[in-house]
A and B are shown apart, each in its own frame.
Chain A
Amino acid sequence: MINKVVSGAEEAIRDIADGATLMLGGFGLCGIPENCINALVKKQVKQLTCISNNAGVDDFGIGLMLQQRQIKKMISSYVGENAEFERQLLSGELEVDLIPQGTLATRCLAAGYGMPAIFTPAGVGTEVAEGKEIRNFNGKDYLMEYAFDADFAIVKAWKGDTAGNLMFRSTSRNFNPVMAMAGKITIAEVEELVEAGELDPDHIHTPGIYVHRIFQGKDYEKRIEQRTVRKSAVG
Chain B
Amino acid sequence: MFSKEEIAQRIAKEIKDGYYVNLGIGIPTLVANYIPKGINVVLQSENGLLGMGPFPFEGEEDADLINAGKQTITTLPGSSIFDSAMSFGMIRAQKVDLTILGAMEVSENGDIANWKIPGKMVKGMGGAMDLVASAKNIIVAMQHVNKAGESKLLPKCTLPLTGVKCIKKIVTELAVLDVLPEGGFKLLERAPGVSIEFIQQSTAGRLVVEGEILEMRLD
Contacts and interface: CB of A to CB of B under 8 A. Distances in A.
Contacts of B81: 170-171, 173
B26 interface: no
Interface string B29-53: 0000000000000000111110000
Contact size range, B = 35 or more
Interface stretch (B3-11, B126-134, B187-195): B126-134
B129 A122 contact: yes
Interface string A85-129: 010011000000010111111101100000000001111111110
Contact of A80 (B48, B60, B123): B123
Interface in A158-193: 158, 168-178
A102 B92 contact: yes
B66 A230 contact: no
Given A27-B47, A28-B66, A106-B88, A229 B56 contact: yes
B170 interface: no
Interface stretch (A12-20, A42-50, A62-70, A218-226): A218-226
B55 A78 contact: no
B124 A78 contact: yes
Given A78-B124, A79-B123, A173-B83, A226 B70 contact: yes
Contacts of A126: 129, 160-164
Contacts of B84: 27, 53, 101-102, 104-105, 174-175, 178
Given A105-B88, A126-B161, 4 more contacts: A78-B124, A103-B130, A105-B87, A124-B133
